[in-house]
Amino acid sequence: MNFLAHLYIADTNSDSLIGHLLGDFVKGRAFLSFEPKIRDAILFHRRIDTFSDTHAVTRVSRNRISRQRRRFAGIIVDVCYDHFLARHWNRYTSEPLADFCQRVYAQLKRDPMREVAGIQPVLTRMVAYDWLGGYRHLRNLSIVLDRIAGRLSRGERFVGGIVEIESNYRQLETDFLSFFPELLAYSRNYSGQYRAEASEEGTEHYSPKS
């Protein structure tokens, strides 16, 4: 999942927003240097990623991507799912997406932890260009995907990735609508039942992708 889904889940579970955002930037055992609330949120972020990456529905979504861009299918699906979350926002909360975005931006900007792990420049751009709200529009997804391609080795093969979403739009939307309620249920269960255990395990075990 990408920024919007992670921050929505963090907010839904009254969790650390900045910790979930840091989950994309703090690698390996570096999370151990943070205070417990931030550390737990980073671990929660990693668990969400693992659940998402190994789920049968997201596997189906990745297999919809053409062989030309299959190597980047995970990135395409992550960004695409945030698009569908934005488009179907009212299914999951009564708070308007625009209000959620502004509230989350304000909280993130006030958090003193924003200075760590090089996150301040990212946060500045996120707020200035309304990344979270912008996921509603395919033209913004196209820009996001091509920018990611520009940072990747042999990323030229990834440029134009928006065509993968456009060509499989309804199928990917159906995948998302099937998957996201399961992710929310997993997140509620994790937050309510497994957080303490996961935090203890996290000092020795963590997701390889992190």
What pLDDT is stored for residue 38 in this prediction?
87
**Structure pTM?**
0.87
What pLDDT is stored for residue 207 in this prediction?
42
Quote the domain boundaries for residue 86. Answer: 3-201
Residues 91-130: tens digit of each pLDDT: 999 999 999 999 999 999 888 777 766 788 888 999 999 9
**What is the largest distance, in Å, between two alpha-carbon atoms of the chain?**
44
Residues 69-94: tens digit of each pLDDT: 888 899 999 999 999 999 999 999 99
Position 1 pLDDT exceeds 50: yes
What pLDDT is stored for residue 127 in this prediction?
93
36: CB partners within 8 A, 6+ apart? 199
190 falls within a domain:
yes
- Contact between 54 and 149 under an 8 Å Cβ cutoff? The reply is no
What six digits make up the tokens of 65?
Answer: 């991507």
What six digits make up the tokens of 7?
Answer: 């921050």
Question: Structural domain tally of the chain?
Answer: 1
210 falls within a domain:
no
Residues 130-140: tens digit of each pLDDT: 999 999 999 99
What pLDDT is stored for residue 48 in this prediction?
94
Got the DSSP string for 131-162? HHHHTT-HHHHHHHHHHHHHHSTTGGGTTTTH
Distance, in Å, from the CA atom of 163 to the CA atom of 160, rounded to the nearest integer, reads 6
Residue 210: band (very low, low, confident or very high) from pLDDT cuts 50, 70, 90:
very low
31 falls within a domain:
yes
- Contact between 91 and 72 under an 8 Å Cβ cutoff? The reply is no
- Contact between 5 and 81 under an 8 Å Cβ cutoff? The reply is yes
149 falls within a domain:
yes
- Contact between 24 and 41 under an 8 Å Cβ cutoff? The reply is no
Position 205 pLDDT exceeds 80: no
What pLDDT is stored for residue 34 in this prediction?
80
Residues 11-60: tens digit of each pLDDT: 998 888 988 998 888 777 777 678 888 888 989 999 999 999 999 999 99
Nearest to 60 by CA among 30, 86, 80: 80
N residues, the chain: 210
Residues 156-199: tens digit of each pLDDT: 778 888 999 999 999 999 999 999 999 999 998 887 665 555 55
